[in-house]
Chain A
Amino acid sequence: MSPRNKALFIVLFTVLCGFYRPSPAFAKNLVIDFYQTYISPVDGNRCPMHPSCSAYADEAFETHGPVMGWIMTCDRLIRCGRDETKLSPAVIVNNQEYIYDPVNANDFWWFEKKK
C-alpha cells in the first residue's frame, strides 16, 4: 500500500470510527460534533430546515444507530431546501421561518418511539 493510500485509509477509518457509537448515551457523534463546533459557526447557518441537517443527523444517529443514521442523514441532505419546503409545515425559530422536518416525520412509517 502506497503512503498516499495509507493516509486515505486512515482518514476513512477515522471517519467510520467517528460515525460509530457503542451506545446512544456514549458521546456526541465525533464528526457531527466537529462540524457543529468548528465548521458551522464559520460557515454560518444556511440550512432552511428545522432541525438543521447536522442536528437532524445527530438525532438520527442517536435514535437509529450508525447505519440507519447515516442513510437518513444522506436522505435529508438530498431533500434539504427543495421540494420539502412545499410539503412540510413552516415553523418560526428565533424570528426566522424554517421548514419543520424532524426525524420522527421521516421514520414514522417504520419506527415507533416507546412511550
Chain B
Amino acid sequence: MRTWFSYLLSGLLLLLLTTVCLCEEKKIVISSDMQADYADTLFKNKDYDAAIIEYKRFVHFFPESEHLDQMKFKIAVCLFEQKKYMDAAKAFNDIILENPEKPDTGEAYFYQANAFINLGNMGYAEIVLQNYLKLSDDLKTKDRLYAELARLHLLQARAFKPDSLPLAKEYLSKISPSNTNIYDTEKTMDLILAAEKAPRKNPQAAGFFSIIPGGGFLYCERYQDALVTFLLNAGLMLAAYEAYDKDNKALAGVIGFVETGFYMGNIYGSVSSAHKYNQEGILRILNRDISLAPKIEPEGKGLAMTLYFDF
C-alpha cells in the first residue's frame, strides 16, 4: 500500500514538473524588434488602424528604445495615409518640435506641408516649407524644397491665385543644375511658359463691352449666351419703357428691378467668363503633364519623383 502511494505521489510530482516546464516553453517574450516588425508588417499591409495601435504599444512598452522617434514618426505617417490630415499635421508638428536634429524630422516637414496641401491650406504649407528652407544647409534638401515650393505654386495657379506661375518659375530656377534632371525642371519650366502664353481675355474689357448687353459674352466667345443676354435685356428694357410710358409705374418698377438684376448679371457674367476663359487656358496646359509630383518614401529610402500624363 505504501509502495503504491509513493508511486502515485512520484507520478503526480513528475506531472507537475512537466507542466511547469511546458508552461515555461510557451512563454513568449516580445522584444522591441519583434514589436516593431509586427507594426511594420501591418503598415506594409496598409492596415493603418492596427499599425497605429502597435506603434503606440511600442512607444508605451519601450520608452527607452532608440527607435522611439521613428515609431512616433510612423504613427504620424499612418494618420497621413488614413487621410486624417489635421491629426497628421499635428503629429508631424510634435516631431518637428521635439527632435529638430533627427533624420526623420526632415521628412516630417515635407509630410506636414503635404498634409496642409491636402487640407487646402496652401499658406501653412508654404510656411512649413519656407521654415525648413531656412534651417537646411544641404543642397539636395534645398533642391527638394524648391521643387516642392514650385509644385505648391503650380497648384495655386490651378486654383487661379495671381502671381503663382512666376513664383513657381522662380523656385524652379533655384534648383541646382546637378538636380534639374531629377525634378524634370526643364519640362515643367516649358509648361509654365506655355501656360503664361495661353490665350487670354481681359476681364476689364469684358466688363466694358458688356455695357451693351451680351457684348462681354461675345468678347469671351460665348455666342449663344451673348444672343440670349441681348434679347432678354432688350426685351425687359422695352417692357419697362412701355409700362412707364403707359403710366403703369409700379409695373415698370417691378420690370426695372428684374432688368437691373439681369443687366448686372450680364456684366458679372462677362467678367466671370473672361476669368474662366483665362483659367481654362492655364489649366488645359498645366493639366497636360505636371511632372513635379514627389512621392514620399516612408521607409526613408530616399526621394522619388513620379510623372503623370493626362490624355
Contact = CB atoms under 8 A, between A and B. Distances in A.
Interface in B240-257: 248-251, 253-254, 257
A70 interface: yes
B261 A71 contact: yes
A46 interface: no
Nearest to A5: B250
Given A9-B250, A108-B275, A75 B224 contact: no
Interface residues of B, number: 34
A12 interface: yes
Interface string A1-41: 00011101101100110000000000000000000000000
Nearest to B254: A12
Interface stretch (B1-9, B37-45, B61-69, B266-274): B266-274
Identify whether the interface residues of A are mostly helix, strand, loop, or mixed: helix
Contacts, number: 82
Identify whether the interface residues of B are mostly helix, strand, loop, or mixed: helix
B306 interface: no
Contacts of B120: 115
Nearest to B259: A74
Given A75-B269, A109-B272, A83 B261 contact: no
Given A8-B253, A75-B269, A109 B203 contact: yes
Nearest to B275: A109
Contacts of B189: none
B225 interface: yes
Contacts of A12: 250, 253-254, 257
A16 B258 CA distance: 11
B50 interface: no
Interface in B250-302: 250-251, 253-254, 257, 261-262, 264-266, 268-269, 271-272, 275-276, 279-280
Nearest to B213: A78
Interface of A: 4-6, 8-9, 11-12, 15-16, 70-79, 82-84, 87, 105-109, 115
Interface of B: 119-121, 159-160, 203, 217, 222-225, 228-229, 232, 248-251, 253-254, 257, 261-262, 264-266, 268-269, 271-272, 275-276, 279-280
7 contacts: A9-B253, A12-B250, A15-B257, A78-B229, A82-B225, A106-B276, A109-B275
